[in-house]
Copies of this chain bind each other. A is one copy, B any other.
Amino acid sequence: MKTDIDRLMRERELDAIILTGGEEFNSARYYLSNGARITHGSIFKVVDKPALLICNRMELEEAAKSGLEVMTDVELGYYDRYKETEGDGIRATVLHWSDVLLRLGVSAGRIGLYGAWQVNKTIALYEALRAGLAQYELVAEAENTLIEEAMLTKDADEIARMKSVAERANAVMALAWDYIAGLRRAGDNLHDEEGKRVTIGDVKNLVRRELMARGLEDTDMIFAQGRDAGFPHSRGEADMPLKVGQTIVFDLFPRELGGGYHHDMTRTWCIGCAPAAVRETYDLVMEAFDISIEAFGLNKPTCLMQEAALDHFEKAGHPTTRSDPSTMAGYVHSLGHGVGIDIHERPSLSHLRRDDICQIGNILTIEPGLYYPERGFGVRVEDLFVVDEKGELVSLTPFRKDLVIPLKGDSGAAQ
């Protein structure tokens, strides 16, 4: 968690870290700046000292909300350096960073670079830093980065925020269920109370509105029906009418409005009735879900949970990415992932990655699935879990896990 950063810096022998970037959503900067709504600016943090947020003068008021020490680039002489380099932004930044590091008392040492920015600008700046700041060793971590490592366990405030997001996301999914359950069958289509044929786009619009009413924003939910449901990340076609008896994979992963913490949950639904093959597949996925939870153990590798799911699916005769790494059908993804400010964080729950351990404060998904696009369906079920202070795996996604949404207008027998 955030309070681990100094320890992580010491362990990694980093004398300072710099978080930078452009207008892209920058989860590292969001994290260290406590969610300040800035689109420019860098954070300099010297080990065992408070962080300094350097912002554009236009964003001073927003930057101040970080609670960090804040200075503008103007105050720190950036524009003098810009003038001195005749408007060469990269060279000016190198000189400016040198000024800031010296001001912070760091005249040599190892500097970790983080953030999110354009690939080309990052490389150009890096090359200029290497040439211009030879007294520093620049460190760029590709895996198990300091920021990832800190984000891997959530503190009490983060868990409280994510529980709140979870409650709201569950409530919105319940509204979507209720809306669909209240539709009327018209052949294999579904009509609303005004007699209008309902599409996937209608459901998505309802969900987006209801998320927004609760201070959440959609981040491109998946509501994929039929063959589309057979591709794990197919978003679904807005114009496609909802169909009775087809399989729908509904993966909802909203976040706090304007950027912030996520929830992540998936349900697989069949409206009115489910084909026997889908029911059978669904039951198998639910078994994998339960089995992988049983394989959870505090301080044990996360890959054990994925391996339990793989064993289960393979024993039942389904291809997996372990039995056939190139497969496009069967169980084609890992069991889950951490969730936070980013939708995909650590820990990883993959058999290809054996170094992640279940720890108190992890917030992670468990989401086994089976995909058969050529048979016209896919199934995935996903809850978000927190490893609580007792070391227990607790679901934040209480919403019902029924496959079939019974239509209120149907008789019981029709289901």
Contacts and interface: CB of A to CB of B under 8 A. Distances in A.
Nearest to A82: B352
B124 A122 contact: no
B113 A116 contact: no
A194 to B, nearest CB: 17
Given A24-B25, A62-B233, A141 B120 contact: yes
A412 interface: no
B119 A56 contact: no
Contact of A120 (B89, B112, B332): B112
Q: How many copies does the complex hold?
A: 2
B143 A123 contact: no
A246 interface: no
A20 B112 contact: no
Interface in A6-65: 20-26, 28, 37, 39, 56-62
A58 B24 contact: no
A61 B231 contact: yes
Given A60-B231, A61-B231, A231-B60, A117 B120 contact: no
A226 to B, nearest CB: 12
Nearest to A342: B23
Interface in A220-245: 220, 228, 231-235
Given A126-B126, A233-B58, A142 B116 contact: no
A325 interface: yes
A102 interface: no
A328 interface: yes
A380 to B, nearest CB: 11
A120 B125 contact: no
Interface residues of A, number: 71
Contact of A113 (B83, B119, B142): B119
Nearest to A143: B89
Contacts of A282: none
A62 B235 contact: yes
28 contacts: A21-B119, A23-B344, A24-B25, A25-B25, A28-B118, A57-B328, A57-B332, A58-B232, A59-B231, A60-B231, A62-B233, A62-B235, A74-B328, A75-B326, A82-B352, A89-B142, A90-B143, A113-B120, A114-B120, A116-B119, A122-B122, A122-B123, A123-B126, A124-B141, A125-B142, A127-B140, A208-B257, A220-B258
Identify which of A21, A116, A212, A352 gathers the most chain B CB atoms within 10 Å of its CB: A116
Contacts of A343: 23
A119 B114 contact: yes
Contacts of A344: 23
A89 to B, nearest CB: 7
B114 A118 contact: yes
